[in-house]
A and B are shown apart, each in its own frame.
Chain A
Amino acid sequence: GAVVSQHPSWVICKSGTSVKIECRSLDFQATTMFWYRQFPKQSLMLMATSNEGSKATYEQGVEKDKFLINHASLTLSTLTVTSAHPEDSSFYICSARGGRPTNEKLFFGSGTQLSVL
């Protein structure tokens, strides 16, 4: 089945640093990638949708200058948390979808646990 690789699995960083998370589709072309954030015992909250070669579409309330998303190729999307602060500590997870817009299946990365000290 389709595989999505997400790195790193966890990261601990000091407040004020930037953290980059990578999401790669290993055996299919991901025309669309989604980035979610999940706080403990909460739902996955969609942060942004990125389509290859175009700017990401951010959900309301998500700061685009703080959460930089790049989807430069059909197999790679990155999320950069700039100037991270403790309140950014969360579980970040990407998912990818290939094919037509109506292609329904989502393939998830394994998630990144970010802890900002």
Chain B
Amino acid sequence: RKEVEQDPGPFNVPEGATVAFNCTYSNSASQSFFWYRQDCRKEPKLLMSVYSSGNEDGRFTAQLNRASQYISLLIRDSKLSDSATYLCVVNRASGGSYIPTFGRGTSLIVHP
């Protein structure tokens, strides 16, 4: 089983739609969680951290379920500019530090 698993998609949605991405992780000792966005051949950019209580940033909502080792990202009112690959990132403990581990990403295509 991979450390961080995501549905690769692509998710093809119309503008204005609500779309949700899921991510599961295998290491129960993982400490912190993030969603990054990556455009083609560009570096990943931090979208938001994910907290146990759930957190929201504008049209984006992230949730964490530690018991199920599951993270989600919800995008409301999708924009064309939201088209990108969304990467789930989990910090796994390693030798006193934390190593960020990336999922393979979920591709989102928002069409007019």
Contact = CB atoms under 8 A, between A and B. Distances in A.
B27 to A, nearest CB: 14
Contacts of A102: 31, 98
Interface stretch (A14-22, A39-47, A64-72, A81-89): A39-47
15 contacts: A41-B8, A43-B87, A43-B105, A44-B44, A46-B99, A46-B101, A46-B102, A49-B99, A91-B41, A93-B43, A101-B98, A110-B42, A111-B41, A111-B42, A113-B41
Q: 9 closest Cβ contacts across the A-B interface?
A: A43-B104, A108-B43, A101-B97, A44-B102, A104-B32, A43-B102, A110-B43, A111-B43, A108-B44
Q: SS class of chain B's interface: helix, strand, loop or mixed?
A: strand
Interface residues of A, number: 22
B96 interface: yes
Nearest to A111: B43
Interface string B91-112: 1000011111111110000000
Contacts, number: 47
Interface residues of B, number: 24
A34 B80 CA distance: 32
Contacts of B29: none
Interface of B: 8, 31-32, 34, 41-46, 49, 87, 89, 91, 96-105
